[in-house]
Every structure is written in structure tokens, then in C-alpha cells.
């Protein structure tokens, strides 16, 4: 029998299911950023990321009663987001040709304009390299290296064994290392300044 983990979202969900609609916005507060980031990195543009994020939370609003606490809520929500992202990529047969880097959204690291420009170029190249990965490998990199999930959590979210996570992530990183090799020196110079 699955046990209910001490999940910080659980009380919020119970409150929502008890009729307190405002509780839903607490869930939005807690998870909108991570879900938007996941989706954005998967699809590579803010317009589709915005659409998908809305669809995911609308689905959540309708289906939240089906959450049984058998995993943490964030794992459950991430699984939902991953499925939506994969659906978007597969059903629509869309391949991301271009990406956008919105400067207003980039983190401010307190560096000068020329370095910022270099940094943006590198970020663009990194995002492009991510988008060139096969979807399954892309997902591993996003979940682990960008969002900080460990192998076990990723296995739970994606629904594959931990060994598969390990091998997919290894392949993804090797491909990225190969693709980004020409820019590695620039990156090292930038980070050493």
C-alpha cells in the first residue's frame, strides 16, 4: 500500500478540494515557475510555453481530484507537464527551427554589456543544442541539470527505470559536450572574468 508522503502541497490540495478555490492559486504560486521553465526548455519559445503552461494548469484545475498522494504532488504535476510537452512535440509534428532569447527574462549576473552579449550568445547556443537532442534525452538534461531533480525523481516523473535515466542523461551530456565544444573556451573565459 502506498503511503502518503509529507507533501507540502497536500494541505493546499485538501483545502481546494474542500471548496476553497483560492487554494488553487497557492499551487500556482508554488509551481508556475518550474512548470513554465520545463515547458519553455522543451519547446524553445515563449508563446507555445505560455499556451502549454495554461493548458497544464487548466488540466490540473479539472483533474486535481485524481491526485491520490501516491507520489509527491510536484512529481505528479511534472508528469502531467512532461506529457503535455511530449504531446505538443509529437502530435503537432512541430520541430523547433528557431528560438528566442528574451533579454528581459535572463538572470542578471552583474556583468558588463559586452560580457552580457557574449553570455546571451552562449545561452542561445546552449538552448539550441538542447533543442537538437532527442526528446527523451532533452527531458533528462532539463530535469536534472536545469531543474535539479535526482535520478530517482526523474524516473518517477518520466516513468522509466533509474538505469534508463542514467544512460539517457549520459548520452545527452556527451552529445551536448560535442556540440558545444567550439564554445567551451569562450564560456571558460566568461566565467573566469
Residues that bind another protein (CB under 8 A): 21-22, 24-25, 28, 32-33, 36-37, 40-41, 46-48, 50-51, 53-55, 57-59, 61-63, 84, 87, 100, 102, 104-107, 119, 122-123, 126-127, 130, 141, 144-146, 151, 166-167, 169-170, 173-174, 176-177, 180-181, 183-184, 187-188, 191
Looking at beta carbons only, is 4 or 174 nearer to another protein? Answer: 174
The least distance separating another protein from the CB of residue 190, rounded to whole angstroms, comes to 9
* CB-nearer residue toward another protein: 4 or 54: 54
For residues 67-93, one letter each, b for 16 or more C-beta atoms within 10 angstroms of the residue's C-beta and e for the rest, the string is bebebbbbbbbbebbbebbeebbeeee
51 C-beta neighbours (distance < 10 Å), count: 14
Between 1 and 188, whose beta carbon lies closer to another protein?
188
CA 157 to chain centre: 11
CA count, 13 A, side-chain hemisphere, 189: 11
- The helix/strand/coil state of 91 is helix
Taking the complex as a whole, the smallest distance from the CB of residue 26 to another protein amounts, in Å, to 10
Choice between 4 and 124, CB closer to another protein? 124
Q: How far is CA 155 from CA 27, 74, 139, in A?
A: 23, 13, 11
Amino acid at each position: 500500500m502506498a503511503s502518503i508522503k509529507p507533501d507540502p502541497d497536500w494541505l493546499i490540495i485538501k483545502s481546494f478540494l474542500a471548496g476553497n478555490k483560492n487554494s488553487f492559486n497557492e499551487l500556482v504560486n508554488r509551481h508556475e515557475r518550474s512548470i513554465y521553465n520545463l515547458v519553455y526548455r522543451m519547446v524553445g519559445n515563449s508563446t507555445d510555453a505560455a499556451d502549454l503552461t495554461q493548458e497544464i494548469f487548466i488540466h490540473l484545475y479539472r483533474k486535481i481530484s485524481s491526485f491520490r498522494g501516491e507520489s509527491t504532488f510536484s512529481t505528479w504535476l511534472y508528469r502531467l507537464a512532461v506529457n503535455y510537452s511530449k504531446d505538443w512535440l509529437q502530435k503537432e509534428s512541430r520541430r523547433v527551427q528557431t528560438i528566442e532569447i528574451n533579454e528581459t527574462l535572463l538572470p542578471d549576473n552583474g556583468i558588463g554589456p559586452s560580457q552580457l552579449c557574449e553570455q546571451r550568445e552562449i545561452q542561445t547556443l546552449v538552448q539550441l543544442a538542447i533543442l537538437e537532442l532527442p526528446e527523451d534525452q532533452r527531458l533528462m538534461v532539463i530535469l536534472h541539470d536545469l531543474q535539479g531533480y535526482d535520478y530517482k525523481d526523474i524516473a518517477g516523473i518520466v516513468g522509466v527505470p533509474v538505469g534508463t535515466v542514467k544512460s539517457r542523461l549520459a548520452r545527452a551530456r556527451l552529445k551536448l559536450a560535442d556540440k558545444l565544444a567550439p564554445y567551451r573556451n569562450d564560456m571558460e573565459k566568461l566565467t573566469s572574468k
